[in-house]
Structure 1
Amino acid sequence: MTTTAVMPGNVPAGALPPDAAPLEARAVSAWFGERKVLDRVSLHMPAGSVTALIGPSGCGKSTFLRILNRMHELVPGATLAGEVLLDGADIYHHDRRLTEVRRRIGMVFQKPNPFPAMSIYENVTAGLKLTATRISRGDRDDLVEQCLTKAGLWNEVHDRLRQPGSALSGGQQQRLCIARALAVRPQVLLMDEPCSALDPTSTRRVEETIRELAAEVTIVIVTHNMQQAQRVSEHCAFFLAEQNTPGHIVEQGLTQRMFHRPRDPRTEDYVNGRFG
């Protein structure tokens, strides 16, 4: 299920989304049982921009992404150390409610996951019920149109909102999941390889959606597609786990510099396809 962000209460029409917020990891380490999978990862993800996480499979990118909205702790035996700051406040502080964090930091997964028993309309508004958000029917209709428009899907589905969301194509389902995430007004949207299961045309449309949303919500995306990382992101972090060591960040910075003037030879080798 995609998780997202809003405070319970009334949502005025036309209030999508709130200001994007910066996200920062400070010395984050993670374990699954006794196995350490991340070692002191620090990364600043600027507000209103796209940060791409790149690196070979198994280097901890998806684990790091799930730490950013407290999904890591759902895994039995999983532990972590360090801080994750959303707009300067630690999301792991003992007085921060898990539901509040998940409302403010949404997630879109690798495989599109619309709720199969719900219509397109109901999929978009599902998060309102989960977050106990009260909204009038007229405002709800406006919100559905607004979210689907921002996800680049309204023109394709506006005349069949009561049809099942699962009947859409793969690319449309992924954009429906993005719309569902936006409906509860997140400040940050995490995306775990959102185009890996899509055809090139659907990938292009999802990438266009990411670029259009970037000024309004902070986006962090895991991708194995180097061309995609260059197309959609302003900032980039290269993760690597070498010789059974935990994953760590080799290099981070502006995407164009990382791809064209990397400081570390391992970064140059990876972005040019020499390994991974």
Structure 2
Amino acid sequence: MTVSDQTTVLPATPAVPGPGATSAAASGPTPAELEARGITAWFGQHQVLDRVSLRMPAGQITALIGPSGCGKSTFLRILNRMHELVPSARLGGEVLLDGEDVYDPDKRLIDARRAIGMVFQKPNPFPAMSIRENVLAGLKLTGTKASRSVKDELVESCLRKGGLWAEVKDRLDAPGGGLSGGQQQRLCIARSLAIKPRVLLMDEPCSALDPTSTRVIEETMKELAREVTIVIVTHNMQQAARVSDQCAFFLAAQGTPGVIVEHGDTDAMFQRPRDPRTSDYVHGRFG
């Protein structure tokens, strides 16, 4: 099985409160700190990352920047164990979620997918499902039982957090595939939030969107950072500067695997970079 930008890997059964719970959909887990230690990755004999370490603080937005082919998206997929879906893929190192290695043999894959959600570059709502069904897809496909009232509350809560509720609240039974591109991406964000992740990974979520939709997604991200840690891959330097708290600059010299050249506070990275290669990249002199 190979990983595709258009494939959503559904996580484990989410914890759905009982019918008598109060504000069930509004509550959720706290943001988690994510830390990568010494991540080295291969596809077959081709090494794509070399000893990459990065701490992604809880409740903050971390932007991964750098030119194409430097391993950013591979690194992102390693964080929630999607890398291992590629038959030829191998990796070394650790990914710690609040200090616990998600690759520990005693840890279940489904637990990592539940705690660390993913939004892909291309909006990928399930076309045969309604807007409501898309949000609830994780519950439906894992056989999780919940009352209608709990489901309704979850749908509204997630669509509000995804910045989409006001636009679709009167047509929840309309096909999710009938929404505009920007709306579809926000629906995918809402779908990811329904499983109550502690970290949300976003792989160039605005690259296929118009400026207006991009602005709405960015506003949504900044709101979500209050309750979920966000890690975003972006080639848009203005976007990284606008939305992220910290940045990590990836680079792969010709014929060598990707490494992190520099990382730290976003303002410092853009205004006072320590490495001249960082300065050249963020100011558009290459990449």
Query: Normalization by structure 2: what TM-score?
Result: 0.93
Give a deviation string over 1:171-226, Cα, whole Å, max 9, x none: 00000000000011000000000000000000000000000000100000000000
CA contact (8 A) 1:6 1:104 kept: no
Aligned to 1:99: 110
Structure 1 residue 117 corresponds to structure 2 residue 128: yes
- Structure 2 residue matching 1:216: 3-state secondary structure: coil
Which of 139, 145, 148 matches 2:150?
139
Is contact 2:44-2:89 (8 Å) kept?
yes
The 5-angstrom pairing of residues 1-276 of structure 1 reads: 1=8, 3-4=10-11, 7-8=14-15, 10=17, 12=21, 13-276=24-287
> What is the one-letter code of the residue matched to 1:77?
S
Aligned-residue identity in percent: 72
AA aligned to 2:245 is E
Distance 1:197 1:246, change over 3 A: same
Going from structure 1 to structure 2, the CA distance change for 1:218 and 1:131 (only over 3 Å counts) comes to farther
CA distance in 2, matches of 1:223, 1:16: 30
Give distance in 1, aligned partners of 2:182 and 2:28.
23
Q: Is the CA contact 1:175–1:206 (under 8 Å) kept in the aligned structure 2?
A: yes
* CA gap 1:4/1:15 in 2 versus in 1, 3 angstroms: farther
Please give the alpha-carbon distance, in whole angstroms, between the structure 1 residues aligned to 2:210 and 2:111: 35
Give 1:243 deviation, angstroms. Answer: 1.9
2:220 is matched by which residue type in structure 1? T
Contact 2:14 2:138 in 1 (8 A): no
Q: 2-side partners of 1:177 and 1:260: how far apart?
A: 34
Evaluate the alpha carbon distance shift between residue 88 and residue 73 of structure 1 in structure 2; reply closer, same or farther with a 3 A threshold: same
Displacement of 1:7 in angstroms is 4.4
Q: Which amino acid aligns with 1:244?
A: G
Runs of 4 or more, structure 1, over 2 Å off, are 2-12, 14-17, 129-134
The verdict on how the C-alpha distance between 1:182 and 1:92 changes in structure 2, with shifts beyond 3 A counting, is same
CA distance in 1, matches of 2:281, 2:130: 42
SS at 2:205 equivalent: coil
Q: 2:35 is aligned with what amino acid?
A: E
Q: Report the AA paired with residue 41 of structure 2.
A: A
Aligned CA distance change for structure 1 residues 179 and 5 (closer, same or farther; 3 Å): farther
- Structure 2, unaligned runs of 5 or more: 1-7
Look up the equivalent residue of 1:118 and give its one-letter code: M
Cα distance in 2, alignment partners of residues 86 and 7 from structure 1: 18
Q: Which amino acid aligns with 2:216?
A: R
Hey, what does 2:3 align to over in structure 1? none
CA distance in 2, matches of 1:2, 1:168: 22
- Verify the 8 A CA contact 2:114 2:195 in the aligned structure 1: yes
SS of equivalent residue, structure 2 residue 95: strand
RMSD: 1.3
Residue type at the aligned position of 1:112:
P
* Contact 2:15–2:195 (CA under 8 A) maintained in structure 1: no
SS in 2 for 1:230: helix
Q: Is the 8 A contact 1:3 1:105 kept in 2?
A: no
- Tell me if the contact between 1:29 and 1:37 (Cα under 8 Å) persists in the aligned partners: yes
Q: CA deviation at 1:16?
A: 3.6
